[in-house]
Amino acid sequence: MRHRLFGKKLGRTSRQRQSLFRSLCLGLLTHGKVITTKAKARAVVPMAEDLINKIVKQPPLIAQRHLHRHFANRHQVAPIYSQVKTVF
Protein backbone atom coordinates (compact mmCIF):
# COMPACT_ATOMS: atom_id res chain seq x y z
CA MET A 1 0.00 0.00 0.00
CA ARG A 2 1.02 3.56 -0.64
CA HIS A 3 -0.22 5.24 2.54
CA ARG A 4 1.45 8.63 3.13
CA LEU A 5 4.49 7.92 0.95
CA PHE A 6 6.06 11.01 -0.57
CA GLY A 7 8.92 11.65 -2.94
CA LYS A 8 10.94 9.66 -5.40
CA LYS A 9 13.78 7.30 -4.56
CA LEU A 10 15.66 7.83 -7.84
CA GLY A 11 17.38 4.46 -7.41
CA ARG A 12 19.51 5.64 -4.48
CA THR A 13 19.79 5.03 -0.76
CA SER A 14 18.47 7.70 1.58
CA ARG A 15 21.92 9.23 2.25
CA GLN A 16 22.81 9.30 -1.43
CA ARG A 17 19.46 10.93 -2.19
CA GLN A 18 19.94 13.51 0.56
CA SER A 19 23.39 14.37 -0.77
CA LEU A 20 22.07 14.62 -4.32
CA PHE A 21 19.26 16.96 -3.26
CA ARG A 22 21.64 19.15 -1.27
CA SER A 23 24.08 19.46 -4.14
CA LEU A 24 21.32 20.22 -6.66
CA CYS A 25 19.77 22.77 -4.31
CA LEU A 26 23.17 24.38 -3.69
CA GLY A 27 23.82 24.62 -7.43
CA LEU A 28 20.39 26.08 -8.02
CA LEU A 29 20.80 28.73 -5.34
CA THR A 30 24.36 29.72 -6.27
CA HIS A 31 24.12 29.64 -10.07
CA GLY A 32 20.40 30.17 -10.65
CA LYS A 33 20.02 27.09 -12.84
CA VAL A 34 20.98 23.42 -12.90
CA ILE A 35 21.33 21.00 -15.80
CA THR A 36 19.79 17.71 -14.71
CA THR A 37 17.05 15.24 -15.55
CA LYS A 38 13.36 16.07 -15.21
CA ALA A 39 12.85 13.53 -12.43
CA LYS A 40 15.66 14.97 -10.31
CA ALA A 41 14.47 18.53 -10.97
CA ARG A 42 10.91 17.68 -9.95
CA ALA A 43 12.18 16.02 -6.79
CA VAL A 44 14.38 18.93 -5.71
CA VAL A 45 12.02 21.84 -6.49
CA PRO A 46 9.91 21.52 -3.29
CA MET A 47 13.06 21.43 -1.15
CA ALA A 48 14.52 24.52 -2.84
CA GLU A 49 11.25 26.46 -2.64
CA ASP A 50 10.83 25.60 1.03
CA LEU A 51 14.39 26.66 1.79
CA ILE A 52 14.01 29.99 -0.03
CA ASN A 53 10.69 30.73 1.67
CA LYS A 54 12.14 30.05 5.10
CA ILE A 55 15.17 32.25 4.41
CA VAL A 56 13.09 35.17 3.18
CA LYS A 57 10.51 35.11 5.96
CA GLN A 58 12.85 34.70 8.94
CA PRO A 59 15.07 37.22 10.73
CA PRO A 60 18.66 37.29 9.37
CA LEU A 61 20.36 35.29 12.11
CA ILE A 62 17.78 32.51 12.09
CA ALA A 63 17.89 32.37 8.29
CA GLN A 64 21.67 31.93 8.32
CA ARG A 65 21.39 29.18 10.90
CA HIS A 66 18.79 27.45 8.74
CA LEU A 67 21.18 27.57 5.78
CA HIS A 68 24.01 26.19 7.90
CA ARG A 69 21.79 23.24 8.79
CA HIS A 70 21.38 22.35 5.12
CA PHE A 71 24.85 23.16 3.79
CA ALA A 72 27.86 22.17 5.87
CA ASN A 73 30.45 24.57 4.45
CA ARG A 74 30.18 28.18 5.64
CA HIS A 75 31.87 29.37 2.44
CA GLN A 76 28.85 28.04 0.56
CA VAL A 77 26.32 29.73 2.83
CA ALA A 78 27.57 33.33 2.66
CA PRO A 79 27.04 33.87 -1.10
CA ILE A 80 23.64 32.15 -1.02
CA TYR A 81 22.44 34.28 1.86
CA SER A 82 23.61 37.52 0.25
CA GLN A 83 22.02 36.59 -3.11
CA VAL A 84 18.68 35.59 -1.66
CA LYS A 85 18.42 38.69 0.52
CA THR A 86 19.20 41.04 -2.39
CA VAL A 87 16.76 39.32 -4.78
CA PHE A 88 13.85 39.24 -2.36
Which three-class secondary structure state does DSSP give residue 51?
helix
b vs e for 16-45, b when ≥16 Cβ sit within 10 Å of the residue's Cβ?
Answer: ebeebbbebbbbbbeeeebeeeeebeebbe
DSSP 73: -
Segment 17-68, tens digit of pLDDT: 989 999 999 888 888 889 999 999 999 998 889 888 888 888 888 888 888 8
Local structure of residue 3 (DSSP, 8 states): T
Say if residue 85's pLDDT is above 70. no
What gap in Å lies between CA 20 and CA 74, rounded to an integer?
19
Query: For the chain, which residues make up each domain, given as ranges?
Result: 14-87
